[in-house]
Amino acid sequence: MPTENQESGVRSRNRVLELLRRGCDLKLQRSSTKDAEAAIGEAYRLCRSSPEWRDPWLWITAYRLAHLKMRAAKDSQSLETIDHLFLEASQWNYLKPVASIYRLTVLHRLRQVADTKVDKQKLAAKIHEIFDEIAAFSSGFRDTETTDFPRIPHMGSIYQSRNFNLLELAAYFLNLPYDHLEGISSTNDLFPGYEHWMLVGLKRQIASVKYHEAVILEELNSKERSHPQALLFRLGKEDRDCSWKPPRQGWAKPPHPTAIHLLALLLSDEVSDIHDLKRRMFRSDDAFRQAKSRLAKMIADSFHVKPAKVFDEDLNTGLPLLAPQIVLYGAVYVPRLRRNSESI
């Protein structure tokens, strides 16, 4: 069963998203930047104290917190704190270009207030270094889909409008008052309207967070790094967009994609009981039993256990429950589960 620390980590993750949405609320930012900064600051601190769920939430909250702090930054100490936050955000490839560009504005401001010629020269060198890094990274980065496992998602329009970003950059570089820009962007959420993906695991509460594909895939990547013994899977928009990774193996097409769909439903918060599950997927009880048997064998072979040891049964809902010693995580496109599938 999940430990107390794991339970706490899940709650912290949910709280981070709640605070992130509050801090990005445009009405709040118009009325009180300090309240918005307090919300994002708390989310950032929660990420730092919850290593199990740090990536990519730490990078996202660092990015947002840097922007909020930048609005009132005047002294070198404040600017150095902001530089660290943008540097932290740039550790994620999806934020690296824009976070690094904003870093240039911070370093430019630091250079202006530097006390000595040596400090100014060091900051100038750092500015040139980061500029070259952005150019090299951007020339090699391609926002395209691939056939790799897992597929690289499109970035989409995840940032504010270009006009607003240019105005914001000008204000940062020239140290202009930010008052006129407060709350005029179309959104301050990094991924507005993209709450179509979720991470799933043995603890069904994990599935309560719905967000952008890039974020959920990075969470899955993080689980791959921290849990090499885990079984991972991905269920995307189309039938072809289904892959799995048994422990310490590479990504591949699963032998039975329907079994992965069943697994995603079992781990999600989308089905209430066994009757709901069967209604969504299966024409008959025999078809359900066949898919469950195939899934049990796939998991048993991955963890070197007997198929009979894979599932228990929830006495309240009748749903199959995975044995607690099995470690697995998946990235799932939520609308795929909310429409009746091609019944088997």
Residues 129 and 56 in one domain: yes
**Among residues 155, 181, 207, which one ends one of the domains?**
181
Residues 126 and 169 in one domain: yes
Q: What is the pLDDT of residues 153-199, one digit of tens each?
A: 444 434 455 556 767 777 777 777 766 666 555 555 566 556 789 99
| Residue at 332 is within a domain | yes
Residues 141 and 42 in one domain: yes
| Residue at 344 is within a domain | no
Q: What is the pLDDT of residues 108-129, one digit of tens each?
A: 999 999 999 999 999 999 998 9
Residue 291 C-beta-side C-alpha neighbours within 13 Å: 23
pLDDT value at position 139? 62
Identify the domain containing residue 260 by its residue range: 197-338
Residues 230 and 130 in one domain: no
pLDDT value at position 207? 92
What percent of the chain is predicted at pLDDT more than 70?
81
Four-CA torsion 194, 67, 99, 212, nearest 10 degrees: -10
Residues 175 and 211 in one domain: no
Residues 169 and 219 in one domain: no
Tell me if residue 2 falls in helix, strand or coil: coil
**Among residues 181, 211, 240, which one ends one of the domains?**
181
Higher-confidence residue of 139 and 87: namely 87
Tell me if residue 326 falls in helix, strand or coil: coil
Residues 6+ apart with CB under 8 A from 260: 233, 235, 242, 244, 254, 295, 330
Cα separation, 56 vs 190, whole angstroms: 12
pLDDT value at position 181? 64
C-alpha closest to that of 148 among 22, 236, 269: 236
Given a cut of 50, whether residue 145 has pLDDT beyond it is no
Mean pLDDT of 235-249: 90
Given a cut of 60, whether residue 341 has pLDDT beyond it is no
CB neighbours (10 Å) of residue 82? Answer: 25
Model confidence at 315, in pLDDT bands (50, 70, 90)? Answer: confident
Region at 185 (left for phi over 0; alpha for psi -120 to 50; beta for the rest): beta
Model confidence at 296, in pLDDT bands (50, 70, 90)? Answer: very high
Model confidence at 262, in pLDDT bands (50, 70, 90)? Answer: very high
| Residue at 81 is within a domain | yes
C-alpha closest to that of 107 among 135, 76, 138: 76
Residues 140 and 211 in one domain: no
Mean pLDDT of 277-304: 92
Residues 15 and 55 in one domain: yes
Higher-confidence residue of 155 and 14: namely 14
Cα separation, 277 vs 264, whole angstroms: 11
Residue 141 C-beta-side C-alpha neighbours within 13 Å: 17
C-alpha closest to that of 64 among 49, 80, 42: 42
| Residue at 294 is within a domain | yes
**Among residues 152, 181, 210, which one ends one of the domains?**
181
Residues 330 and 248 in one domain: yes
| Residue at 164 is within a domain | yes
Cα separation, 311 vs 319, whole angstroms: 10
Cα separation, 343 vs 94, whole angstroms: 37
Q: State the pTM of this model.
A: 0.80
| Residue at 343 is within a domain | no
| Residue at 138 is within a domain | yes
Residues 130 and 165 in one domain: yes
| Residue at 192 is within a domain | no
Residues 129 and 227 in one domain: no
The number of domains in the chain is: 2
Residues 167 and 203 in one domain: no
